[in-house]
Amino acid sequence: MDTRQKNLDDAIISTKRPTPPGAMASVGTFAMRSLLKTKHTPMALMDITAMPILFLLMFTYLFGGAIAGSVQEYLQYILPGILVQTVVQITMYTGLDLNKDLQKGFFDRQRTLPIWSPSSLVGAMLFDTLRYSVASVIMIGFAMILGFRPEGNLIGVGMAVALLLLFAFSLSWIWTVLALVMESENALMATAMMIIFPLTFLSSAFVDPETMPLVLEWFVNVNPISMLVDSVRGLMHGYDVQTEILWTLVSSGLLVTLFGPLTMYLYKNKN
């Protein structure tokens, strides 16, 4: 008898239930699922490839001379800001993908499986961290071609990207909460853009806050995105930003502490 047929017969006839996969195994499976979805829809990578490059070119060459008097000088200033803006914006796709699964009934099918229930959510978020890393590498590599020269060398750049990935992972929990309470993908995207755009543009990403009106300058200085931008910029260029890094870490911790448990509660009790 063929070995494969024998194994199949044994599996069908056996009354012993297979051992359920562990949490790490199921998380890895769902991370691979996200990777395969991207493989079959490569156009979904436009947000981490073409769009960041387009934004960098537009802001550098349209506004560099007017704001800084020199395109090259402005490139050194704006690259960390564009990098943060790009990664922060694509964090919302974590919530959009979850909302799609809910609308298509994938969530209901998953609940019948003997796996750790948040596996699909955590797996997707791990894959999204990989997407953020790819976006960061593409942005920095292209900026280097244009003339970006980080004074903090490779170590500083690596630490800046690591801090950005940590904040992005923390921020993603907001979109998972919204995905679980909103009924449509369009509503979720509109809400996310209403949150992201003011926070990214009313920050220190593009211009020095000291050039702004007093009230606006105050808001920009307390904006957590500004703290992140200043941290990334300081690490890349090699100057002291310990206070900004501390506040970025505090903001990341607060986001996970507030929205992580709320996501798990809503995820568990979703009808």
Q: Which of 109, 130, 114, 117 is nearest to 37 (CA)?
A: 130
CA distance linking residue 71 with residue 60, whole number of Å: 6
Q: For residue 178, give the DSSP letter.
A: H
Phi, psi of 6 (to 5 degrees): -65, -45
Q: For residue 116, give the DSSP letter.
A: -
Residue 231: its pLDDT value, please?
95
Q: For residue 69, give the DSSP letter.
A: S
Q: How far apart are the first and last CA of the chain?
A: 48
Residue 17: its pLDDT value, please?
64
Query: Position 264: which residue type?
Result: M
CA angle 229–225–193, rounded 5-degree value: 125
Give the number of other CB atoms < 10 A from CB of residue 36.
Answer: 9
Residue 183: its pLDDT value, please?
79
Give the domain ranges of the chain: 44-269
SS3 label, residue 238 = coil
CA distance linking residue 51 with residue 55, whole number of Å: 6
Q: What is the mean pLDDT of each run of 10 residues along the chain (271 residues)?
A: 62 61 74 74 69 83 75 88 89 83 75 74 83 87 89 89 93 90 85 90 87 87 93 92 94 94 83 59
SS3 label, residue 55 = helix
- Does residue 202 contact residue 79 with C-beta atoms inside 8 Å? no
Residue 7: its pLDDT value, please?
63
CA distance linking residue 20 with residue 17, whole number of Å: 9
CA distance linking residue 62 with residue 65, whole number of Å: 7
Query: Position 156: which residue type?
Result: G
The continuous run of DSSP H or E covering 189 comes out as helix 185-201
Residue 22: its pLDDT value, please?
65
Residue 109: its pLDDT value, please?
74
Side-chain-side CA neighbours of residue 91 (13 Å): 27
Residue 265: its pLDDT value, please?
87
What is the distance, to the nearest Å, from the Cα of residue 97 to the centroid of all Cα atoms in its chain? Answer: 13
